Amino acid sequence: MTQQTTTDIRLEGLTIGYGEHAVVSNIDAVLPGDKISVILGGSGCGKSTLLKHILRLHPVLAGRIVIGGHDLTSLDRRGMHCLRQRMGVLFQDGALLGSLTLGDNVALPLREHTKLPEKAVRERVLAKLGLVGLADFYDYYPNELSGGMRKRAGLARAMVMDPPLLFCDEPTSGLDPVTAAELDQLLLELKRSFDMTLVVVSHDLNSMRAIADHVLVLGSGKVLFQGSLAELDATQDEYLRRFLDRQAAERNSPRLTMPPLDFKLMKRDCSGYLGE
């Protein structure tokens, strides 16, 4: 049995979804503190939905979410304010405010929640931007940056309040393999340097292997697996094995048995271009 820490996240009988429609039902899981937990699963299995419910962006349908002994589903407004200021979140595309420069984006939580003088705010923002390799882009607007840079800037903003808990939603999606590996490396360094608890939502197996201490696999609206990476690798579950070995499910695809499109039926005569 693992030792409980103040940043353990416990999901107890949790059912989540939108409106009356449940996406994930009755799950019990623990995302251990001071570790990197990866929530894994195929597209549309409810990973991001689970993350948004843990962040209390949506009300849960049933069950409890307990972070550090606080039940989020019954926490009052003041408690939620305090907890949120101790969490950092990196959204899928960074979710930087388009009307603010990178520096102002990262400085936003400091300006809203602290009494730091402007000079100290700037120093701190530059330090965090330096941490993600963007110190020279302080005055750039988000639309002037690449996708990878926006994600790193989002990470700097998530880190600016030195939160003990960091949530990342698909941090490597849409990135080239080198940039994705760099971002994974960065998450590992942050974890090592600041002793944080990280919860990463991902469907990137390479990324999961690079960073995960603990894995939670979702599928078919329930938890399919939770445990360490070694335990996941040793699993004999058919779906999980297919998922981990990247094997497609066997199917008789109608696309492959259909006759090809007759070019004579095209509205515009394009004969001679890449084919008949």
Partner 1 sequence: MIEARRAQLPPIARLGDFFLRHVGEIGAMALFLLESFGRIFRSWGQFNKAVRQVYFIGVKSISVITLISLFTGMVIGLQMYYALAKFGADGFLGAAVSLSLVRELGPVLTAIMITGRAGSSMTAEIGVMRISEQVDALQVMDINPVGYLVSPKLAASIICFPILTAFFDLVGIVGGYITGVLLLGGNSGVYWYRVSAYLKMSDITGGFIKSLVFGVVVCTICCYMGYYTHLRRDSVGPEAVSQATTSAVVTSCVLILLADYILTSLLF
Binding residues vs partner 1 (CB under 8 A): 19-21, 52, 55, 57, 80-81, 84-85, 87, 89, 91-93, 95-98, 108-109, 111-113, 157
CB closer to partner 1 out of 18 and 263? 18
Question: Beta strands 222-228 and 62-67: pairing type?
Answer: unpaired
CB of 236 to partner 1, least distance (A): 37
Q: Which amino acid is at 16?
A: I
Structural contact between residues 40 and 161, judged by C-beta atoms closer than 8 angstroms: no
CB of 112 to partner 1, least distance (A): 5
CB closer to partner 1 out of 111 and 222? 111
CB closer to partner 1 out of 20 and 245? 20
H-helix segments, 142-176: 147-159
CB of 43 to partner 1, least distance (A): 17
Say how far apart CA 222 and CA 224 lie, in whole Å: 6
CB of 92 to partner 1, least distance (A): 7
For residue 251, what are its two tokens?
């199917």
CB of 258 to partner 1, least distance (A): 30
Question: Beta strands 197-202 and 165-169: pairing type?
Answer: parallel
CB closer to partner 1 out of 153 and 244? 153
CB closer to partner 1 out of 80 and 120? 80
Say how far apart CA 13 and CA 7 lie, in whole Å: 19
CB of 53 to partner 1, least distance (A): 12
Query: What residues have CB less than 8 Å from 36, skipping those under 6 apart?
Result: 187, 188, 191, 198, 200, 211, 212, 213, 214
CB closer to partner 1 out of 57 and 270? 57
DSSP H or E segment with residue 27 = strand 21-31
